Structures are given as C-alpha cells and as structure tokens.
Amino acid sequence: AQSEQAALDAWMVVDREGITLADDVAEDDSDSFSNRSVEAKIERLLTWMLAPALHGIPKIGVPGARDRADELLVEHGSSVEVAVREVVAGSERTVSNLVLNFCLERIPVLGCPTVLLRTTWGNLRSILIIAALYGRDIEAPRVQHEALLCLVP
C-alpha cells in the first residue's frame, strides 16, 4: 500500500513530445532532487518566458517592452515617473486570453498552473518595461538577469 501511494505521489514533467524533462526518481536513490531539481525547471520556465516578455508577441499584437515603454512615454508627455507609476499600478498585469493561450501552447513543460503563468508574465513584463523607461539596455544579459532576480521573493 505504501509503494502504491508513493507511485501516486510521484511527479514527472514532460515536454510536448512526451520526453521526460524531470521527475522525482533519483538515479542513486540518495537524493531525489540531486541532478534535476525543481529549481532548475523553474529557472528554465523563467528563461523561456523572458523572450516574449522582452520582444513582445507581434503575431497577436503585443509590443516589445521597449516599444511599450515608448508608448507609455508618449501617453504621459515624456514623464518617466508617471509612466512608471502606471506600470506599478498594474497596467501590464492584465493578461489577455490570447497571451495566455500563446504561452500555454508553447510552454516547454506541461502542467504549469495558469495563475503562475499569468503572474510571472505580468511581473516580468512590468519589470522590463520599467527598466526600459529608466533607460536601461534591456537587451543586455546583465539587465535580463537582474529582471529575473526581481521575481525571486
């Protein structure tokens, strides 16, 4: 009965082709998270989300972070502070079903909760837009790493 429960509690992450990307079965049974940790999979998810958050999704009308920052500056008479306040207030946190479906269809792992996708997308996008508003080079790897670090609680 205990081995049956262990089998029910086991987890596995697979890609679209059904290839296992991670599981909780240890190769040496000493540490089930030694080589393929959950943290590494979350890191992969965040790294994957960086490109559409940074460059936008032109097919569905989502501008890149730099373009969105420029739009906000035009809307607010070139006032960086007012534009930043709008982003902080949540202007980029509303995620359309188009964006959500785009991410869900392309997500490199199955079973990612929609709420995690929605929150991560909104926060990452907001961070990148604010960085662009303050004149940072959002194409620079260091700025991208710092944007990802902002997501860590």
> If you write DSSP's letter for every residue of 56-104 in order, what string do you get?
-BGGGTB--HHHHHHHHHHHTTT-HHHHHHHHHTTTT----HHHHHHHH
User: What is the helix (H) or strand (E) element at residue 55, kind and residue range?
Assistant: helix 38-55
Q: Give pLDDT, residue 33.
A: 44
Could you tell me which residues are beta bridge partners of residue 22?
13
Q: Give pLDDT, residue 29.
A: 43
Q: Give pLDDT, residue 61.
A: 85
Q: Which of 129, 132, 148 is nearest to 46 (CA)?
A: 148
Q: Give pLDDT, residue 84.
A: 96
Taking the whole predicted model, whether its pTM rises above 0.75 is answered as: no
Note down pLDDT in tens along the chain; length 153 residues: 656 655 555 555 556 666 665 555 544 444 444 445 667 767 777 877 888 889 988 888 889 999 999 999 999 999 999 999 999 998 887 767 777 777 766 665 545 666 777 788 889 999 999 999 999 999 999 999 999 999 887
Distance CA 91, CA 57 (A): 17
CB 84 within 8 A of CB 130: yes
Q: Give pLDDT, residue 47.
A: 79
